[in-house]
Amino acid sequence: MNTIKGPAIFLAQFMGDEAPFNSLDSITTWAASLGYKGVQIPTWDSRCIDLQKAAESKTYCDEIVGMLAAKGLQITELSTHLQGQLVAVNPAYDLGFDGFAPDAVKGNPKARTEWAVQQLKYAAKASQNMGLNAHATFSGALMWHTVYPWPQRPAGLVEQGFKELGRRWLPILNTFDECGVDLCYEIHPGEDLHDGVTFEMFLDEVKGHKRANLLYDPSHFVLQALDYKQYIDFYHERIKMFHVKDAEFNPTGKQGVYGGYQSWINRAGRFRSLGDGQVDFKSIFSKLTQYGYDGWAVLEWECCIKDPVQGATEGAPFISSHIIKATEKVFDDFAGTGADEELNKKILGL
């Protein structure tokens, strides 16, 4: 068994235009002051990192790593959630997702996809330059508009969709393999990879690629009414990253999983700050420790009620209190009698 590393914090939801949230230097000083030991960095935010420069310059990466080390911090992983989303976009979502792309490729889906693929390849090399072994992203979605279909899906649509998704991601996975980095998909509604079954279908299309792995976030499973603890039993060998995020699901006679087009605060399923929702983190940390997870526990703050600074302040001690120092001995060792083959034969009646 291994001891989970942490606490760490995903910076994406905290970046802003005012200090200390407007630069990597100042926001990481703030994070360190709260007791965090690691930071997960969003690569689409130029206030945090120049991704292409990080891919092309080991010196630049060393400078960032050194700056953080001076504060007592490590980089846990880089994230390309927004760029990964753009690897696969159904035309129904073109206008919405153009907001994630640079102006030069907006309105041009082919160019936008090519840009996104290059971003992922930069991220693989940047991760290698920083000495990281895992990376966070989204899969994108070609089929999400058919998730609860009417009219029914045409025969073969799902198979063809996953075939295309695999075709797009396989070269990216190969680049990550060349760089020695696991590519971890956050399993998430809105993505074609949104539960265990869809992840397995994707794995089939990328031939079980060893770099196709998982970012485990139980909050998205609470909102789907999926057994997030048994999910660990099924997929622990592929879980290489962990977002510690809370959620609650309170269906009523008026509203359920789909949320009735309501704002976050009025949905049956809501993200909450750590400890304010329904996720059984004690069981999650126990299972991950049992299965030998040796990555980071990273706070991802999303809450429709609590202030983010309060959420982050409470998050570090919450994660620390759940990290289990893996035992190096068995509790009943004191009663052991040692190895004695002859004694064993007598006990067995041999």
Give residue for tokens 């058919």. Answer: 146
pLDDT digits (tens, 9 = 90+) for 46-98: 999 999 999 999 999 999 999 999 999 999 999 999 999 999 999 999 999 99
> What is the average per-residue pLDDT within 215-237?
98
* Range list of H helices, the chain: 24-33, 51-56, 58-69, 81-85, 94-97, 109-129, 157-179, 196-205, 218-222, 228-235, 281-290, 308-322, 341-348
Closest CA to 3 of 292, 322, 321, 320: 292
CATH architecture of 5-348: Alpha-Beta Barrel (3.20)
pLDDT 10s digits, 109-133: 999 999 999 999 999 999 999 999 9
What mean pLDDT is predicted for residues 101-111?
A: 97
What proportion of the chain, given as a percentage, has pLDDT over 90? 93
- pLDDT tens column, 155-211: 999 999 999 999 999 999 999 999 999 999 999 999 999 999 999 999 999 999 999
Determine the Cα–Cα distance for residues 222 and 227; give it in Å rounded to an integer: 8
Report field, pTM of the whole predicted structure over 0.85: yes
Distance CA 292, CA 290 (A): 6
Give residue limits of the domains in the chain. 5-348
- Is the predicted pLDDT of residue 331 greater than 80, yes or no? no
